Chains A and B, each alone.
Chain A
Amino acid sequence: MKINYQDLLSFLSEKPSKEDLSQKLFQLGHEHEISGNIFDMELTPNRGDCLSLIGLARDLAVFFGKSNSIDLFNDDIEPLEINFENLSPKDCPKISFLEIEIEDSKVEYKPYLKNYFNNIGGNKANLFTDISNYISYELGQPTHCFDKETIKNKLIFENRECNTIFKTLLGSKVSLKDRNCVFSSNNEIISLAGVMGGASTACSLNTKKVLVECAYFNPESIIGKSIKYNLVSDAAHKFERGVDIASQEMVLRRFAKVVQDHAKIKSIRFKSFGEDHNEDLNIPIDVNKINKILGTSLKNDEYLRHLKGLGFHISDKIKVPSYRHDIETNNDLAEEIARVIGYNNIKSTPINLQKIAKNFDAKVAKLESLLVDNGFSEVINFPFTLNKEKESINIDNPLDSNRNNLRISLKDSLIENLLYNERRQKDSIKIFEISDIYTKDKLIKQQKKLGLIISGRQGHNYNHFSKKLDQKYLNKLLNENHAEDIFEINEISRNNLNTKKKDKIFYVETPLEDIPMSFFSKLCTQQKVVNFINYKPISEYPASSRDFSFVIEDLQVVHEVIDMLNNISDEIIKDSFLFDYYKDDKRKIIKLGYRFIFQSHLKTLSDSETNKKVNEILSPILEIEGVSIPGM
């Protein structure tokens, strides 16, 4: 909600600077951003009463005092004879109507109305609708303007089954479904109550006789409608959060005053339906309770002064204003007091809880240690899938139709992770996931599962580089030293996968409860130490690798060469490793295979850029006597 700083000042007796105002708004819990004179407010959903100039001013008055600058139409108003019936007072306990006829609708806007449209930025429509929008900004109460000449029959408010197309005053067509609160006349829906009026009864530039409807709708009756019908509605936003049931006559008198500021009024009539405001909510005065909640030592007079400043009426009890739907208990009042004192000004008080040891899941911790030590990386996947099985749990309102079930297995997610990394030139992939999986039989069943998938090289060091990850590898890791095979290892065919890779894929999935204790008893856990490393963003540009075959004739320098190679680091070297180590007994030489993987964060590297870097990093090594790269 946007608020003009200057407009807000006119409701306050002191005139704080923008900075002071901003600071106090934060203290009160009203987040905002400032651009020029415009405060863009982001209010919590319990503070619907602050969605207006007067609303924010009521809260700020505790610091800056309030000024009574609202001009009302104070003349007597004739009673309105209107053929109206409220068929659902539960949804709309109170509603008022103001009928005004003016002589000429073509008028010049006064500066305050002009400024509102210039600064807050709504589109102008016609005099009455524009005033309605302005009143909502000023007082927080939405009103709706019907062109009186378009309503010839009885006006009805009802909550009814709808199955019809409704054309809004903004011209969009909405297909109404199920039950909705509506205004109807002659069995035609003319307004989607609390959300948006219809085109057929909307005011135009020529409207001279208006019927202004001003209602309190129950938030429950309005909530969800604007989203359901995809209508952006400031009115719905306010009604959903609750407006002031006791302010309708004041609002309509303000409406009349703004009309009067702009046009000559020929006739004006008013009528209200429904119960007057219900019993006020009263809370006994008990400052000790407040101190017990906050841990403060506030004096009673201070307490009451703060509440008065916020608009509470104090007699022998605390009377909650009709617009404060959020205040019911002493805890609510404690928050009011804390806001006025400032959360940051409340001193903290120590608590003394006994330190306890983290009760970690030993099975999970042992599996994690085993896998991480053996080069597996952990992934976390979303559980949503298109695949539906008999035991799948179905999502009623999925993000989209491809994600309308919960996965019953980790397999598809892990295959997807594998293919994703293969496409990113990963040639040695070992990943795992441990996650709760939910299925249904008669009841919902929860099972913690381990899934792991492997493909490609066993590793990048010279012992593992030419070996493939296979069934034997997994057997050795998981099933060796156990009387029976504990884990079932399955090969996943690439036939139906979108990939040209040939490496075999092996997969294991098992519920943790199916793994025997004997397996875990042979594993140990390590104390996990979390280092919050400084993350470096990964490059989106392609990587390219270069292999170099070194011939070392002077065996003395082998380790020196390897150390030099291992210590090379450069902005564009993503990875490097010794993938081959070969002793040639005949020739009494050692051959080294070393791979560099180049990747830039800034661009795709050209061959010549890579070559230049290669020369730079290799030349000190090739200067060593007895070291060469054949062909280079």
Chain B
Amino acid sequence: MSDLDSINPPSILEEPGRLHPINQTKDYLLNLLSSLGFKEVHGPEIETEEFNFDMLNIKKSHPARQMHDTFYVEGKKNVLRTHTSPVQIRSMLESKPPIAFTSAGKVYRKDDDATHLPMFHQVEGIYVDENVTFANLKYLIHQILHELFGDNVEIRFRPSYFPFTEPSAEVDILSDSGKWLEILGCGVVNPIVLENCNIDSNHYSGLAFGLGVERIAMLKYGVNDIREFYKSNLDFLAQFK
């Protein structure tokens, strides 16, 4: 029998906490976009209608501006931003091309059901320079998606509609189960938006894209229910090492 004192006490296993998976994913995307040359810019979550809609060519008659889609605050004076695009507008007004900005953060839509939340996260990017084309956009989106989902991922572009880009596209990837999954929206920046930001659209053109952070997190982690992210359940959060 050996002496008690010669026995080392067992090591103490500290349980580290976790950063929230949505913030981890957001940081991952921001790192990725920095590595592609995009500079992070910030802006407020409470926005004016001018920056959230008008400057982005979202007309008064657009469904998104209705009370059932957008949260209005303080007697309709302002809105909870419905996307991170106004951050890019603010940043474009303060700089001259060439520019490459990314913005990330919380956005709000008046939605609350099994697949939609009233608050979620977006990461967006915009690049404006001379001779930026749709073909450049395709190149960049491929870079991003190969980084996210591997070099062999199958990518599909579909025409879509956003008031602030023209042409606009939605991009899908082919899942392992053979289903196309919508991943992001993008397009050539609508010249009207450039002009709104005092950028000469005869001289410059741009590309822009936006990703839903929850969507990417769900795909990358295999979380099926978006609501899980916001239950603050420690059993859930503990998994995201």
Q: How far is the CB of A30 from chain B (nearest CB, A)?
A: 8
- Do residues A555 and B2 form an inter-chain contact, with CB atoms below 8 A? yes
| Residue B93 at the chain A interface, CB threshold 8 Å | no
Interface-lining segment among A135-143, A243-251, A312-320, A372-380: A372-380
- Do residues B138 and A396 form an inter-chain contact, with CB atoms below 8 A? no
- Do residues B166 and A426 form an inter-chain contact, with CB atoms below 8 A? no
Whose C-beta in chain A lies nearest to the C-beta of B24?
A530
Q: How far is the CB of A325 from chain B (nearest CB, A)?
A: 11
- Do residues B22 and A581 form an inter-chain contact, with CB atoms below 8 A? no
- Do residues B40 and A377 form an inter-chain contact, with CB atoms below 8 A? no
- Do residues A349 and B167 form an inter-chain contact, with CB atoms below 8 A? no
**B114 neighbours in A (Cβ, 8 Å):** none
| Residue B181 at the chain A interface, CB threshold 8 Å | no
Q: A296-B135, A356-B37, A532-B221 are in contact. Are A375 and B1 (CB under 8 A)?
A: no
**B78 neighbours in A (Cβ, 8 Å):** 444
Q: How far is the CB of B216 from chain A (nearest CB, A)?
A: 9
**B25 neighbours in A (Cβ, 8 Å):** 530
Q: How far is the CB of B237 from chain A (nearest CB, A)?
A: 5
- Do residues A294 and B233 form an inter-chain contact, with CB atoms below 8 A? no
Q: A295-B133, A377-B17 are in contact. Are A538 and B232 (CB under 8 A)?
A: no
- Do residues B72 and A555 form an inter-chain contact, with CB atoms below 8 A? no
- Do residues B19 and A528 form an inter-chain contact, with CB atoms below 8 A? yes
- Do residues B158 and A343 form an inter-chain contact, with CB atoms below 8 A? yes
- Do residues A377 and B237 form an inter-chain contact, with CB atoms below 8 A? yes
B10-46: contact bitstring with A at CB < 8 Å (1 yes, 0 no)? 1011111111101111011011001111111000111
Whose C-beta in chain B lies nearest to the C-beta of A291?
B133
- Do residues A420 and B231 form an inter-chain contact, with CB atoms below 8 A? yes
- Do residues A578 and B10 form an inter-chain contact, with CB atoms below 8 A? yes
A529-560: contact bitstring with B at CB < 8 Å (1 yes, 0 no)? 01111111110000000000000001110110
C-alpha spacing A393/B233, complex, angstroms:
28
**B2 neighbours in A (Cβ, 8 Å):** 555-556
Q: How far is the CB of B218 from chain A (nearest CB, A)?
A: 9
How many residues from B make CB contacts under 8 Å with A?
102
C-alpha spacing A395/B80, complex, angstroms:
9
Q: A421-B232, A426-B234, A559-B10 are in contact. Are A395 and B133 (CB under 8 A)?
A: no
- Do residues B46 and A393 form an inter-chain contact, with CB atoms below 8 A? yes
- Do residues A353 and B237 form an inter-chain contact, with CB atoms below 8 A? no
- Do residues A349 and B160 form an inter-chain contact, with CB atoms below 8 A? no
Q: How far is the CB of B47 from chain A (nearest CB, A)?
A: 10
C-alpha spacing A371/B8, complex, angstroms:
29
Which positions in B face A, CB cutoff 8 Å?
1-4, 6-10, 12-20, 22-25, 27-28, 30-31, 34-40, 44-46, 60-63, 66-68, 71-76, 78, 80, 100, 106, 110, 112, 117-119, 127, 131-136, 138-140, 142, 156-161, 166-169, 188, 190-191, 205, 220-224, 228-241
Q: List 19 A-B residue pairs with CB atoms under 8 Å apart, sorted by A's residue number.
A: A44-B159, A294-B167, A339-B159, A348-B136, A351-B140, A380-B22, A381-B230, A382-B118, A395-B73, A397-B67, A397-B72, A424-B233, A530-B25, A538-B228, A555-B6, A555-B7, A578-B13, A581-B9, A581-B10
Give the top 7 A-B pairs by smallest Cβ distance, nearest first: A353-B37, A295-B135, A29-B159, A295-B133, A335-B167, A44-B161, A343-B157
Q: A396-B67, A555-B4 are in contact. List 5 more A-B contacts (CB 8 A).
A: A399-B118, A436-B45, A464-B12, A555-B2, A577-B13
Which positions in A face B, CB cutoff 8 Å?
26-29, 31, 44-47, 219-220, 223-224, 227, 240, 292-296, 326, 329, 331-332, 334-335, 338-339, 343-344, 346-351, 353-360, 368, 371-384, 393-399, 403, 406, 416-417, 420-421, 424, 426, 429-431, 436, 438, 440, 444, 446, 459-464, 528, 530-538, 554-556, 558-559, 562, 566, 574, 577-578, 581, 583, 585, 588, 590
